[in-house]
Amino acid sequence: MIAKAELHVHLEGTAPPDLVRRLAERHGMPVPEGLFDGDERFAYTDFLDFLRAYDLAASVMRSGDDYRDVTYEYLASCARDGAIYVELTASPDHAELVGLDQQEHLEGIARGIDDARAEFGIEGRILISAVRNFGVDRALRVAQYAAERPHPYVVGFSMAGDEENFPAGDYVEAFEVAAG
């Protein structure tokens, strides 16, 4: 088998419907309404609706353990498919929206990477991502956090979200801050 690398995947979006349901159950909350269609697949009609579904799925990820499990399960799946390296785009914004602090968020992801490496030999790294449709101020906070608290697993800073309505040029300062 040829070794593979996954270089662009948004972590919260890797959770399959079954894991989203388990995480919601873990926290005693209902699965967000409208997240799944009748076929037990994520329901969305276009890119902006996909972003809505992504936000709903991320809303059940509420602890470092949740992020550990999402990371571990995705890396385990990739390893079974022959991947040896994965770069995970992680959103501190989504964690913050549910009350999870950025340190616990990052530590949960790192534990998932460590556990998957120990069991499957796969390596993972993290791109910290600001979500452009959450605004410039939030992007600056995420960039500042990434710049001030380096982590050995964090290999970059990126932007995600609604590209059409939130142009990259509005976020130049965030990239400058992240670059240090």
pLDDT in tens, 133-162: 999 999 999 999 999 988 999 999 999 999
Contact of 18 with 24, CB cutoff 8 Å: no
The CA distance from 80 to 85, in Å, is 12
pLDDT of residue 21 exceeding 70: yes
Contact of 46 with 37, CB cutoff 8 Å: no
The per-residue pLDDT for 180 is 83
Q: What does the pLDDT average to over 35-42?
A: 85
The 3-state secondary structure of the chain reads CCCEEEEEEEHHHHCCHHHHHHHHHHCCCCCCCCCECCCCCECCCCHHHHHHHHHHHHCCCCCHHHHHHHHHHHHHHHHHCCEEEEEEEECHHHHHHCCCCHHHHHHHHHHHHHHHHHHHCCEEEEEEEEEHHHCHHHHHHHHHHHHHCCCCCEEEEEEECCCCCCCHHHHHHHHHHHHC
pLDDT of residue 78 exceeding 90: yes
**pTM given for the model:** 0.94
Structure tokens at 24: 């919601």
The CA distance from 128 to 21, in Å, is 25
**Confidence label for 35 from pLDDT (cuts 50, 70 and 90):** very high
Backbone angles phi, psi at 140, to 5 degrees: -65, -40
pLDDT in tens, 51-75: 999 999 999 999 999 999 999 999 9
* Total residue length of the chain: 180
Mean model confidence pLDDT for the chain: 95
Q: Could you give the percent of the chain with pLDDT greater than 90? A: 94
Q: What does the pLDDT average to over 11-35?
A: 96
**Confidence label for 40 from pLDDT (cuts 50, 70 and 90):** confident
**Confidence label for 33 from pLDDT (cuts 50, 70 and 90):** very high
The amino acid present at 176, given as its one-letter code, is: E
Q: What does the pLDDT average to over 40-55?
A: 92
The per-residue pLDDT for 39 is 65
Radius of gyration of the chain (CA): 16
The per-residue pLDDT for 149 is 86
The per-residue pLDDT for 1 is 73
Contact of 104 with 111, CB cutoff 8 Å: no
